[in-house]
Amino acid sequence: MHSFKSIDCVTNEDEATNYPIEFLNSLDVPGLPPHNLRLKVGSVVIMLRNINQPKLCNGTRLVVRKLMNNVIYATILKGKFKGEEVLIPRIPMIPTDMPFEFKRLQFRSVLHLS
Protein backbone atom coordinates (compact mmCIF):
# COMPACT_ATOMS: atom_id res chain seq x y z
CA MET A 1 0.00 0.00 0.00
CA HIS A 2 1.34 3.41 -1.01
CA SER A 3 0.13 6.64 0.55
CA PHE A 4 0.14 9.78 -1.60
CA LYS A 5 -0.40 12.99 0.34
CA SER A 6 -1.63 16.04 -1.54
CA ILE A 7 0.02 19.43 -1.42
CA ASP A 8 -2.62 21.95 -0.36
CA CYS A 9 -2.38 25.74 -0.21
CA VAL A 10 -4.61 28.80 -0.40
CA THR A 11 -4.35 30.70 -3.66
CA ASN A 12 -4.38 34.08 -1.91
CA GLU A 13 -1.35 34.27 0.39
CA ASP A 14 -3.08 36.94 2.51
CA GLU A 15 -5.50 34.22 3.68
CA ALA A 16 -2.79 31.71 4.64
CA THR A 17 -3.10 32.48 8.36
CA ASN A 18 -6.89 31.98 8.22
CA TYR A 19 -6.62 28.58 6.53
CA PRO A 20 -3.59 26.61 7.78
CA ILE A 21 -2.31 23.67 5.75
CA GLU A 22 -3.54 21.18 8.37
CA PHE A 23 -7.08 22.53 7.90
CA LEU A 24 -6.83 22.35 4.10
CA ASN A 25 -5.53 18.77 4.35
CA SER A 26 -8.58 17.81 6.43
CA LEU A 27 -11.08 19.00 3.79
CA ASP A 28 -13.01 16.28 1.98
CA VAL A 29 -14.42 18.12 -1.02
CA PRO A 30 -16.79 16.29 -3.41
CA GLY A 31 -15.14 15.83 -6.79
CA LEU A 32 -11.60 16.14 -5.45
CA PRO A 33 -9.34 13.25 -4.54
CA PRO A 34 -8.61 12.96 -0.81
CA HIS A 35 -5.56 14.49 0.85
CA ASN A 36 -4.26 11.02 1.68
CA LEU A 37 -4.80 8.79 -1.35
CA ARG A 38 -3.91 5.19 -0.52
CA LEU A 39 -3.34 2.85 -3.47
CA LYS A 40 -1.66 -0.42 -4.24
CA VAL A 41 -0.68 -2.15 -7.45
CA GLY A 42 -3.71 -4.09 -8.68
CA SER A 43 -6.23 -1.61 -7.23
CA VAL A 44 -9.19 -0.66 -9.39
CA VAL A 45 -9.69 3.11 -9.66
CA ILE A 46 -12.21 5.32 -11.43
CA MET A 47 -11.65 8.69 -13.08
CA LEU A 48 -13.63 11.51 -11.47
CA ARG A 49 -12.88 14.10 -14.16
CA ASN A 50 -11.96 14.29 -17.81
CA ILE A 51 -8.23 14.31 -18.60
CA ASN A 52 -8.00 13.15 -22.20
CA GLN A 53 -11.40 12.60 -23.80
CA PRO A 54 -12.63 10.18 -24.94
CA LYS A 55 -9.92 7.88 -23.56
CA LEU A 56 -9.69 9.16 -19.97
CA CYS A 57 -12.99 10.66 -18.95
CA ASN A 58 -15.30 10.68 -15.95
CA GLY A 59 -16.26 7.09 -15.10
CA THR A 60 -13.33 5.34 -16.82
CA ARG A 61 -12.24 2.33 -14.78
CA LEU A 62 -8.58 1.43 -14.62
CA VAL A 63 -6.32 -1.01 -12.81
CA VAL A 64 -3.12 0.33 -11.25
CA ARG A 65 0.01 -1.27 -12.72
CA LYS A 66 2.79 0.85 -11.20
CA LEU A 67 2.92 3.65 -8.63
CA MET A 68 5.50 6.44 -8.87
CA ASN A 69 5.83 9.69 -6.91
CA ASN A 70 4.13 11.90 -9.48
CA VAL A 71 2.54 9.46 -11.94
CA ILE A 72 0.24 6.43 -11.79
CA TYR A 73 0.74 3.89 -14.57
CA ALA A 74 -2.57 2.13 -15.24
CA THR A 75 -4.50 0.03 -17.77
CA ILE A 76 -8.04 0.84 -18.94
CA LEU A 77 -10.43 -1.99 -18.00
CA LYS A 78 -13.50 -1.49 -20.23
CA GLY A 79 -14.79 0.17 -23.34
CA LYS A 80 -13.29 1.15 -26.67
CA PHE A 81 -9.83 1.70 -25.16
CA LYS A 82 -9.77 -1.49 -23.06
CA GLY A 83 -6.22 -2.72 -22.47
CA GLU A 84 -4.55 0.60 -23.30
CA GLU A 85 -1.88 1.74 -20.88
CA VAL A 86 -2.05 5.33 -19.60
CA LEU A 87 -0.22 7.69 -17.25
CA ILE A 88 -2.18 9.72 -14.71
CA PRO A 89 -0.23 12.74 -13.39
CA ARG A 90 -0.55 14.82 -10.25
CA ILE A 91 -2.34 18.00 -11.30
CA PRO A 92 -3.39 21.10 -9.34
CA MET A 93 -7.14 21.42 -8.79
CA ILE A 94 -9.05 24.42 -7.44
CA PRO A 95 -12.58 23.69 -6.19
CA THR A 96 -15.17 26.30 -7.10
CA ASP A 97 -17.82 25.54 -4.48
CA MET A 98 -15.88 26.73 -1.42
CA PRO A 99 -16.17 30.08 0.43
CA PHE A 100 -12.42 30.57 -0.14
CA GLU A 101 -10.06 29.46 -2.89
CA PHE A 102 -7.46 26.77 -2.33
CA LYS A 103 -5.41 24.49 -4.53
CA ARG A 104 -4.85 20.74 -4.11
CA LEU A 105 -2.04 19.01 -5.97
CA GLN A 106 -2.92 15.32 -6.14
CA PHE A 107 -3.46 12.57 -8.65
CA ARG A 108 -6.26 14.09 -10.63
CA SER A 109 -9.53 12.39 -10.69
CA VAL A 110 -8.65 9.12 -9.10
CA LEU A 111 -11.02 7.44 -6.67
CA HIS A 112 -9.95 4.12 -5.18
CA LEU A 113 -12.65 1.46 -5.64
CA SER A 114 -11.11 -1.76 -4.33
The CATH number linked to 14 is 2.30.30
pTM of the prediction?
0.77
Whether residue 109 is predicted with pLDDT greater than 60 in this model: the reply is: no
What average pLDDT does this structure show over 31-54? 86
What average pLDDT does this structure show over 46-57? 83
Number of domains within the chain = 1
Yes or no: say if 50 and 113 are a contact pair by the CB < 8 Å rule: no
Mean pLDDT of the chain: 88
Least Cα distance to 102 among 17, 3, 15 occurs for 15
- What pLDDT is stored for residue 54 in this prediction? 85
| Residue-range definition of the domain harbouring residue 48 | 2-113
